Structure 1
Amino acid sequence: MSDLHSINEAINKRAGRKLLPSILVSLGILLLVWLSLSTFRVLFAVLVTGAVILGIREINRAFTAVDIHIPLWSLTTASIALCASTWLGGVSGLAVATAISFPALLVLLLPRGTENFVKTASASALALIYLPFLAGFLILLARPYNGLERVMTFVILVSCNDTFAYLTGVLIGKHPLAPKISPKKTIEGLVGSLIFTVIGGSLAFHYIMDSDWWLGAAAGVLTVFTATAGDLIESALKRDVAIKDMGTLLPGHGGVMDRLDSVLFAAPALWLALEIVRRAQDSGLL
């Protein structure tokens, strides 16, 4: 037992997070996603909206630490509006809601005066696009009749990327991928995630989406690079405001944003890929 404890502690130290709580939280999130999609799919939109609101609060705390004060309640309201519009109106609803919310946020900043207006407006725009807009593509994945299959395929892709980048990096990682941004990430971890995410994507597209395996392989490559980019961008944001985690809500992960970072960038890419495939199939090209 002491040997197992020592091994676990060594893995935690190498990876920079606690392994067991991280696994339990991931399984809990997976269960919530599956239950929402397998019962009433609108519950998934509610789940995404709740995560976005929590993420907005975490970003607000991070910005406040460097004396940037974004309009928390206005962004929360905009987040709810964007998520609801996406579920009800699809990609058009998301686009129109974003186009309305952005100038509305700027107008609501005017009573604060001109001091730090550019800084606050820029941070508010970043929060709006980074969270509710990108998260809207998660809702778009779930909207069609096969929303369960689409989202679970996405979960498999992102999970393969995160899990095997983590394991490969812990076991054989030696060469940092982006040492100034995220020292724990390694080139070996990226290669490992690429190999296993391509395999996972191929299997998921064949058995879950009932589609060609090579489309899943392509989706796997796309997911690895978009998810890794999202992870690095959140790491850069945290380093700029000098915090380790965005929050403490999720044991083993940190905050909600620490769980959403890769998801937010991978979701639009997969949605676009699925749309291209669907239209190509409808036109007889595939």
Structure 2
Amino acid sequence: MSYLDPRAGQNSGDTYAEPAYQNPAWHADERAPDPMNHADEKAPDPMNSDDESRRGPGKRRAGRGRKPEGKSRAGRNLPAAIAVGLSLGLVVLASLLVWSPALLGVVVLAAGVGVWETSRALSVTGARPPVIPLIAGTAVMTGLAWYEGADALTVGLVVTIGAAVLWRLADGVAAVRRDFTSIVLIAVYVPFLLSFAAMLVRPEDDGQWRVLATVVAVVLSDTGGYAAGVFLGKHPMAPKISPKKSWEGFAGSITASAIGSGALLFFLMHVPVYYGLLFGAVLSVVAVLGDLAESMLKRDLGIKDMSNLLPGHGGLMDRLDSILFAVPTAYLLFAIIAPN
């Protein structure tokens, strides 16, 4: 009897179990496993980073709770985000304190980049909004807002839309029909709203403080919401639009912006504290709505950031989303609480 015979060893008390593939219960339509065929064994998947066979000795799989080095609890590259944020803040602050008309250049540059980023993002839908006339219209709208005010700004908006439509008309009526909505969206959303900053800085006695108070209110809103959301956030605010926003973060935004604005407006412009509290609270709500509006736009477009221009932030529009809605709101509020 060969030692390969499965009956070998029975006389010594060993038990012999009939292989499953020889058992009548084995399904006839299933292939019996071949002990000599190693192809039946599962090969490691080179695309599966969790495959144990791909980790060398001593290698440990990172747990889901681990975050890459340098990342914050909210998933941002915090050092880069802080550095970029401080740099942008210093540019705005320098333009306000050194020579306030220099803010016009900052607004035109920021709006121009915003037009480019938004046009690029909307291209995933097949639209081709003309960037050149829209950026040129940005300079026109900012200048008109600075020199003539809100009525002239509205005229500049109409002229910008008309120029962009004529530019696209060179490609045919079909191109105008395809791109008209994106042209109007970009012209209103970026340069029109941002040009209100030029009207905020117009008053010679306190224009720079109006812009500074607006920017500080938005920054405090973002910072307070971020801190409260990271450490206290439990109840999602708009999970289908912005999963990381929570009601606790929203409360932190309003609280930080209201308190900071109340103190700042009192010391800089002698505005009553209750008006300052109201100013900060309203701007915080509007800033959050602006953030959600852009989040909704990005979700519809299927993109995470408007661009990768700013490390730790994404695109410039990812930083301007709160400012865009806050600037015209601040202009209206100052007309009530601190008229010229």
Q: TM-score, normalised by structure 1?
A: 0.91
Show the 5 A alignment for 1:104-119: 104-115=163-174, 117-119=176-178
The answer (yes or no) to whether the contact 1:34–1:148 under 8 Å persists in 2 is no
Q: Name the structure 1 match of 2:251.
A: 191
Find 1:40's aligned residue among 50, 74, 99.
99
Aligned partner of 1:262 in structure 2 is 322
Alpha-carbon shift at residue 9 of structure 1 (Å): 5.3
The size of the alignment, in residue pairs, is: 275
Shift of 1:7: 9.8
- Contact 1:234 / 1:261 at 8 angstroms: preserved in 2? yes
- Gap change, CA 1:218 and 1:11, over 3 Å in 2: farther
| 1:119-158 paired onto structure 2 within 5 Å | 119-145=178-204, 146-158=206-218
1:97 equivalent in alignment to 2:156:
yes
Deviations 1:162-186 (A, max 9, x none): 0010111111111111111111111
The partner residue of 2:80 within 5, 10, 21 is 21
8 Å Cα contact 2:235-2:246 kept in structure 1: yes
1:227 to 287, 292, 305: 287
Whole-angstrom CA distance in 1 between matches of 2:250 and 2:180: 35
Q: Check the 8 A contact 2:238/2:245 in 1, yes or no.
A: yes
Secondary structure of the 2:237 match is: strand
For 2:183 and 2:168, the matched residues in 1 are separated by: 10
Q: Which amino acid aligns with 1:64?
A: S
Higher RCO (C-alpha under 8 Å, 6+ residues apart): 1
Q: Find 2:239's aligned residue among 143, 154, 179.
A: 179
CA separation in 2, counterparts of 1:99 and 1:66?
A: 24
**Distance in 2 between residues matched to 1:137 and 1:147, nearest whole Å:** 12
- Corresponding position: 1:160 with 2:235: no
Alpha-carbon distance between aligned partners in 1 of 2:99 and 2:264, rounded to the nearest angstrom: 23
RMSD: 1.9
Q: TM-score, normalised by structure 2?
A: 0.77
Runs of 4+ in structure 1 off by over 3 angstroms are 6-14, 116-119
Q: 1:15 aligns to what SS in structure 2?
A: coil
Q: Report the more deviating stretch, 50-59 or 104-113.
A: 104-113
Name the counterpart of 2:302: 242
Give the unaligned 5+ runs of structure 2: 1-64
How far off is 1:18 after superposition? 1.6
Larger Cα Rg: Structure 1 or Structure 2? 2
Structure 1 distance, partners of 2:151, 2:257, is: 31
In structure 2, distance between residues paired with 1:27 and 1:78: 29
* Secondary structure of 1:253's aligned partner: coil
Secondary structure (helix, strand or coil) at the match of 1:70 reads: coil
Letter in 1 for 2:128: H
CA distance in 2 between partners of 1:98 and 1:176 (Å) = 37
CA deviation digits over 1:141-200, x for unaligned, max 9?
112111221111112100110001011111111111111111111111001111111111
